[in-house]
Amino acid sequence: MPSREDILNARILVVDDNADNLELMCEILHDGGYRDVSATSQAEQVCAMHRQHSYDLILLDLQMPGFNGFQVMQGLKEIEQGGYLPVLALTAQPSFKIAALEAGARDFISKPFDLMEVYKRIHNMLEVRLLYRELAQYSRQQQALALHDPLTGLPNRRLLEDRIGHVLQHATRQQNKAAVMYLDLDGFKAINDTHGHAAGDAVLKQVAQRLTGCSRKEDTVARVGGDEFVIVMGSLNQLDDTCEPAAKLIEAVARPYLVDGLELTLSTSIGVALFPDDATEVNPLIAAADGALYAAKRSGKNCCCTAQALRAIEGQPEAVSPA
Ligand SMILES: Nc1nc2c(ncn2[C@@H]2O[C@H](COP(=O)(O)OP(=O)(O)OP(=O)(O)O)[C@@H](O)[C@H]2O)c(=O)[nH]1
């Protein structure tokens, strides 16, 4: 639940065309301990102000000449995508109360003001609004956790598959190619065994940073297993376009790691599969890259092997004919 301090620090906007009413409501709010109170008599500016300041509560007079409170609420609905309008309607017209609730206001205050009622309704509305915000933030955090690896912060397998799906759709539309690079560190177990799991974790985090550092902004770098990473690259013309990035990745992983004053070294093997040449669907493409990776491991590690080269070695026919 939001604390009393949170509620008193909430951002409040008072909207009324009558300067005396505006002053009175601001005074009431300040006397009630509210610290962040703004006011405007320009109803047509409310939406722009809300876009900029994202108010927790808008005390909105309904009857204003020109642009009235109902029109303001209409505009606010376009900003508040979640559909929760933080509007407390102010009205002297009993018949407007239901209309205001129907238009999206959460509650209303009748004029002339009854002070105790004003304080209670403002407090209750802010409590709900701040709770709603907390829940929305919690839900965003949960979603991020479900799609990212907690150790490195990189996308996990679930998000990776989704990203590959988008890259393949884009490559199909653009009639170009995309690559999946599957990396597995060489000799990582020895770092854990010799220096401990925490040192292994520190190395994994540095590896993640290096892989991200030598990839393009639009590429996805994901951690898909203990010491396994996948990089997805779109907008390629040919398999050769993956050679330089793969060499860069191998070189970046091979640089020494400083962990607790120790210099640790390891290398990586890489398997590369190309869309649409090696596979046209997400999981077969990952599997083709994984197959090439194990060929790289078998051929001595610290190198890159492509699914195409693997097929040539094994004398297999083309996996999938290019579209
Ligand atoms: N520190 C740490 N170790 C992990 C984590 N997840 C998996 N591992 C370890 O990573 C190691 C991965 O095993 P392997 O890939 O067989 O080890 P490797 O020495 O790299 O083997 P090669 O790939 O054949 O060179 C295992 O010892 C796992 O226990 C993690 O989150 N942190």
Q: Looking at 16, 149, 184, 227, which residue is catalytic?
A: 227
Query: Which one, of 243, 260, 145, lies nearest residue 206 by Cα?
Result: 260
Q: Is 219 a catalytic residue?
A: no
Query: Same structural domain for residues 27 and 103?
Result: yes
DSSP assignment string, 1-52: ---HHHHHT-EEEEE-S-HHHHHHHHHHHHHTT--EEEEES-GGGHHHHHHH
Query: 179-237 pLDDT, tens per residue?
Result: 999 999 999 999 999 999 999 999 999 999 999 999 999 999 999 999 999 999 999 99
| Domain membership of residue 227 as a residue range | 157-314
Query: Same structural domain for residues 169 and 307?
Result: yes
CA angle 157, 313, 225 (to 5 degrees): 15
Q: What is the mean pLDDT of the chain?
A: 93
Residue 201 lies in a domain: yes
Q: Is the peptide bond before 245 cis (omega within 30 degrees of 0)?
A: no
Query: Same structural domain for residues 67 and 108?
Result: yes
Radius of gyration of the chain (CA): 30
Q: Select from 197, 227, 265 the residue to mutate for testing ligand 1; criterion: most ligand atoms less than 8 Å from CB.
A: 227
Residue 303 lies in a domain: yes
Query: Same structural domain for residues 310 and 162?
Result: yes
Instruction: Single out the residue in 85, 117, 145 at which a domain terminates.
Output: 145
Q: Is the peptide bond before 276 cis (omega within 30 degrees of 0)?
A: yes
DSSP assignment string, 78-103: HH-TTS---EEEEES-HHHHHHHHHT
Question: What ipTM does the predicted assembly reach?
Answer: 0.97
Query: Same structural domain for residues 14 and 132?
Result: yes
Query: Same structural domain for residues 252 and 194?
Result: yes
Angle between helix 282-298 and 307-314 (nearest 10): 60
Residue 192 lies in a domain: yes
Instruction: Single out the residue in 112, 145, 178 at which a domain terminates.
Output: 145
Query: Same structural domain for residues 23 and 111?
Result: yes
- pLDDT category of residue 94 using cuts at 50, 70 and 90: confident
CATH number of the domain enclosing 218: 3.30.70.270
The domain tally of the chain equals 2
User: Using CA atoms in the order 117, 119, 120, 122, what is the torsion angle rounded to 10 degrees?
Assistant: 110
Residue 75 lies in a domain: yes
Residue nearest to atom 31 of ligand 1 (CA): 226
Query: Same structural domain for residues 203 and 306?
Result: yes
pLDDT of residue 316: 61
* Ligand 1 pocket, CB under 6 A: 151, 184-190, 192, 197, 200-201, 204, 226-227, 297
Query: Same structural domain for residues 141 and 164?
Result: no
SS3 179: strand
Query: Same structural domain for residues 83 and 169?
Result: no
Is the separation of the CB atoms in 235 and 153 below 8 Å?
no
What does each C-alpha distance from 120 to 42, 46, 162 come to in angstroms? 27, 24, 47
Confirm whether pTM is higher than 0.90: no
Instruction: Single out the residue in 145, 176, 206 at which a domain terminates.
Output: 145
Task: Residue 104: count other Cβ atoms within 10 Å of its Cβ.
Answer: 17
pLDDT of residue 1: 84
Residue nearest to atom 17 of ligand 1 (CA): 189
